[in-house]
A = this chain, B = another copy of it.
Amino acid sequence: MKRSGRRPGKPDTREEILVSARELFATLGFDRASVRRIAAEANVDPALVHHYFGSKNDLFLAAVDLPFDPAVKVRTVAQPGVEGLGERLIHMFVTMWDSPAAERLVALFRAAHGEEQSANLVRKVFESRIMDVLNGVLGQTVDHIDMRANLVASQLFGLAMTRYILRLQPLASLSVAALVTIYAPTVQRYLTMDLSAVVNE
């Protein structure tokens, strides 16, 4: 996300657009929440939304207030294919949480457990920015990609919760290399295991 030193326009208008964006992204999802609708909800001209935030993508990132785009991160590690992807995902995920971005991630994570609307927003981030990207990059070569993305998330989110929110010991003190040794095989299995029996149950 681009951060400029000075914000253009009145802070109130900008904040009103962000409030509308958060509400509509959470209730309608990324695709259905159009810039036109967000502008209407905030009582401003759509051109003003573009003026303040650039693309709808940038608006979304400003709304969830992450210092990076999860879609870009996921595309980068998924691009070389499914081989070794478990290791690359764990490495990327832990590095991200060990960085200064962690504060925002904790906030987003906590929000996901708060009100229903915030949980919806996090689900939408996941669906539109992670599952869609994985589908685009790996959809041709890997089956049941939505299910696999869910399974990988169930391990990564649990790692985030126990290591960074609850700070369970000794897990919270493990090195990145140790975490890769432990978790990469789990994630790799979720990405490659035979799911036909599970899906047809």
Chain A: residues with CB nearer than 8 A to chain B?
109-110, 112-114, 119, 122-123, 126-127, 146-147, 150-151, 153-163, 165-171, 174-175, 177-178, 181-182, 185-186, 189-190, 193, 197-199, 201
Interchain CB contact under 8 A, B147 and A154: no
Number of this chain's copies in the assembly equals 2
Question: Which residues of chain B are near A201, meaning CB under 8 Å?
Answer: 174-175, 177-178
Interchain CB contact under 8 A, A169 and B154: no
Interchain CB contact under 8 A, A154 and B159: yes
The one of B150, B177, B178 in contact with A171, judged by C-beta atoms closer than 8 angstroms, is B150
In whole angstroms, what is the CA distance A70 to B47 when docked?
55
In whole angstroms, what is the CA distance A148 to B112 when docked?
27
Instruction: Given the known inter-chain contacts A114-B113, A155-B154, A186-B155, please indicate yes or no for A123 contacting B168, CB distance below 8 A.
Output: yes
Question: Which residues of chain B are near A166, meaning CB under 8 Å?
Answer: 112, 119, 122-123, 126, 157
